[in-house]
Chain A
Amino acid sequence: MSNLSPEHSFQPLSVGNVVSAGVRLYRSNLKRYLILTLRLYLWSFVPIYGWAKSIEISGRISRLAYQELINEPETMTEAYQKTDRQIWNFLVSGLLMGLITFALFMGFFIAFIVFFMLVGLVASAIAPRSAIDTSSVGVAFSIFSAIAFLVLLLVAFLIWLRVFSRLFIYEVPLAIEDGIDGATTIGRSWTLTKGSVGRIQLIILVAGLITWTIISPATFFLFALVGAGANTVDDGTSSVLVLLLYIVVLLGSGLVLPFWQAIKAVVYYDLRSRREGLGLNLRDRG
């Protein structure tokens, strides 16, 4: 019976194996990652410097995960020394991402305004004529514009999904590679993900399913709290409930955040293997 390993370390990973590797990294480093996430949360309350620090820490979690994948694990201090000096670049990349998202949604907004203006124009143009047969033309036109609206909505969603997938790992190159700044890291994410949008979306879907099932007890608790809050009149009780709600949300997302940073690290590793032949080496493998 042949017993070759199904995948050599230099071969690209399947969607399932990307997710499994992310889960395994997360599980075996849970304590480290959660400590970092706690710091990230605390920093996020400090304006500007703290926000930069938050993005830097999330990048650092991915760096720690990636170093483990390439069998060159780093200590927390080593990783800190590498990522901390890029702190302002992390802020720049975060701001740029915000700008990109903003521009995208402005674009959608303008597209929708233009759409509604066109609909209005056409409607007023056909209104006088349709006095003869109001019903048929009017109905056909409203059905047509409703369908056009849905199509536009779908196109906007697909564009957003595509851009989001291509920028999915925007902060990871900055945390790992040398000679990269806050702008080029976004470009790196864009080049690396070229041709892999579908696979990234599947990875996000499967990892999302696993995330959702694992935090589902928390979601249940969340809904219970919201329900209880809606039914209380007493101010004291409701403020306690709001506080509890806040804690549950923080805990839940705190557990989830490092998992996604680990997934991003594996995606980055896999993309570099696919696009740049990372790991293809004759020397190291005597």
Chain B
Amino acid sequence: MSLFNRIKIRTPESVELEFTLAGIGNRTIALVVDYLIWGAVLIGLLIFWGVLSVQLERYLPNNRNIELWISAISLLITFTVYTGYFVIFETLWRGQTPGKRYSKIRVIRDDGQPAGVTQAILRALIRPIDDTFFIGLLLIVLTKREKRLGDLIAGTLVIQEERSIVSSNFAISPEAESLADELLANQNLNGLLPDDFAVIREYLQRRSMLETKARTDLSLRLARQAKDLLGMQELPYQMTPDLFLEAIYLAYQKRD
């Protein structure tokens, strides 16, 4: 089983795109964050309105309907904040809310286009139904495209944001530079595929977090595999596996 729920969609221009669906975990986190913010905003507004309405009652003592009006307006505030929060954010941030931004997910249309105000409104209006008896949660868990009622009606998908490749920010020993030039001059680096390069990069980036013994084993294994992929019989001279991998990393970037 793959870890992620990957789907392919066809854009109006007949381009096939692949996305990773958000998954129930990310969506739950996003919802919790959003409801925390939303709840804080709502409570703030209602307290403000409560203070205001006490003043209003004092200034308009003769109006009998004033209490009705006050409760009607607080209902209106709740509704506006409830739908407004999601509509405004999903429209302005192209399918994201603070919670979705935190968990790195985004709403898009079924055809891969960015979601707009129509989708945002439909999703927000159906949200109360999805929240009742956790219908939405069950639908996300049970359906193949992870759509709650709001997604079904608005024709939207919730996907994971594509992660931009972070620039490398790991330390490389100075000896690796000269070694890299040596490798470039003497070895054919075409045996390494971009995927292999990605693995080496990933190792160099994460090595400081690895457990000592696991790191020793892993670097040795990777260095041996890299040596075989490059078709080298022996390493030029004694060096640590880490140094060799650093040199490959630098050389691979330098080649044209």
- A27 contacts which chain B residues (CB < 8 A)? 141-142
Query: Once bound together, how far apart are the Cα atoms of A4 and B225, in whole Å?
Result: 25
- B193 contacts which chain A residues (CB < 8 A)? 285-286
Binds B, one of A14-22, A34-42, A121-129: A14-22
- B66 contacts which chain A residues (CB < 8 A)? none
The range of chain A's interface size is 35 or more
> Secondary structure at chain A's binding surface: helix, strand, loop or mixed?
helix
1/0 contact string of A1-44 vs chain B (CB within 8 Å): 11111111111111111111111110110000000000000000
- A7 contacts which chain B residues (CB < 8 A)? 3-4, 20, 160, 163
Which residue of A has the minimal Cβ distance to B137?
A: A213
How near does chain A come to B137, taking the closest CB pair, in angstroms?
5
- A12 contacts which chain B residues (CB < 8 A)? 206
Q: Does A233 contact B (CB under 8 A)?
A: no
Binds A, one of B75-83, B182-190, B194-202: B194-202
How many B residues touch A, CB cutoff 8 Å? 52
Q: Does B10 contact A (CB under 8 A)?
A: no
1/0 contact string of B207-231 vs chain A (CB within 8 Å): 1011100110010011001100100
Q: Is A17 in contact with B214, judged by CB distance below 8 angstroms?
A: no
Complex interface residues of chain A between 64 and 102 (CB less than 8 A to chain B): 68-69, 73
Binds A, one of B24-32, B53-61, B173-181, B235-243: B24-32
Among A6, A20, A285, contact of B163 (Cβ-Cβ < 8 Å): A6
Q: Is A5 in contact with B20, judged by CB distance below 8 angstroms?
A: yes
Among A3, A15, A281, contact of B25 (Cβ-Cβ < 8 Å): A15
Which residue of A has the minimal Cβ distance to B138?
A: A214
Given A3-B162, A9-B3, residue A285 in contact with residue B214 (CB < 8 A): no
Query: Once bound together, how far apart are the Cα atoms of A10 and B218, in whole Å?
Result: 13
Given A6-B20, A28-B1, A213-B134, residue A274 in contact with residue B209 (CB < 8 A): yes
How near does chain A come to B245, taking the closest CB pair, in angstroms?
10
Query: Once bound together, how far apart are the Cα atoms of A154 and B107, in whole Å?
Result: 40
How near does chain A come to B21, taking the closest CB pair, in angstroms?
9
- A28 contacts which chain B residues (CB < 8 A)? 1
Q: Is A16 in contact with B28, judged by CB distance below 8 angstroms?
A: yes
1/0 contact string of A192-221 vs chain B (CB within 8 Å): 000100000000001101100110110000
Q: Does B85 contact A (CB under 8 A)?
A: no
Q: Is A281 in contact with B214, judged by CB distance below 8 angstroms?
A: no
- A281 contacts which chain B residues (CB < 8 A)? 199, 221-222, 225
Q: Is B162 in contact with A4, judged by CB distance below 8 angstroms?
A: yes
Q: Is B23 in contact with A20, judged by CB distance below 8 angstroms?
A: yes
Q: Is A280 in contact with B137, judged by CB distance below 8 angstroms?
A: no
Q: Does A132 contact B (CB under 8 A)?
A: no
Among A213, A274, A280, contact of B222 (Cβ-Cβ < 8 Å): A280
- A139 contacts which chain B residues (CB < 8 A)? none
Q: Is B214 in contact with A277, judged by CB distance below 8 angstroms?
A: yes
Which residue of A has the minimal Cβ distance to B165?
A: A4
Q: Is A16 in contact with B162, judged by CB distance below 8 angstroms?
A: no
How near does chain B come to A37, taking the closest CB pair, in angstroms?
19
- A22 contacts which chain B residues (CB < 8 A)? 25
Q: Is B28 in contact with A1, judged by CB distance below 8 angstroms?
A: no
Which residue of A has the minimal Cβ distance to B219?
A: A277
1/0 contact string of A134-156 vs chain B (CB within 8 Å): 00000000000000000000000
Given A7-B20, A14-B26, A280-B203, residue A23 in contact with residue B141 (CB < 8 A): yes
How near does chain A come to B240, taking the closest CB pair, in angstroms?
16
Q: Does A191 contact B (CB under 8 A)?
A: yes
Q: Is A277 in contact with B141, judged by CB distance below 8 angstroms?
A: no
Q: Does B103 contact A (CB under 8 A)?
A: yes
Complex interface residues of chain A between 270 and 284 (CB less than 8 A to chain B): 274-277, 280-283
Among B25, B160, B211, B218, contact of A280 (Cβ-Cβ < 8 Å): B218
Given A19-B24, A280-B218, residue A206 in contact with residue B1 (CB < 8 A): no
Given A3-B18, A5-B18, A285-B199, residue A25 in contact with residue B1 (CB < 8 A): yes
- A276 contacts which chain B residues (CB < 8 A)? 210-211, 214, 218
- B163 contacts which chain A residues (CB < 8 A)? 4, 6-7
> Can you name 11 A-B pairs with beta carbons within 8 Å?
A4-B165, A6-B20, A7-B163, A14-B103, A14-B104, A15-B29, A16-B28, A20-B26, A23-B25, A276-B218, A282-B199
- 9 further A-B contacts with Cβ under 8 Å, apart from A17-B23, A195-B209, are A13-B3, A14-B26, A16-B29, A17-B3, A191-B211, A277-B215, A280-B199, A280-B202, A280-B203
Binding site for A on B (CB under 8 A): 1, 3-6, 17-18, 20, 22-29, 32, 103-105, 133-134, 137-138, 141-142, 160-163, 165, 193, 195-196, 198-200, 202-203, 206-207, 209-211, 214-215, 218, 221-222, 225-226, 229
10 nearest CB pairs, A to B: A20-B23, A19-B25, A16-B26, A16-B25, A276-B214, A282-B225, A20-B25, A277-B218, A213-B134, A6-B160
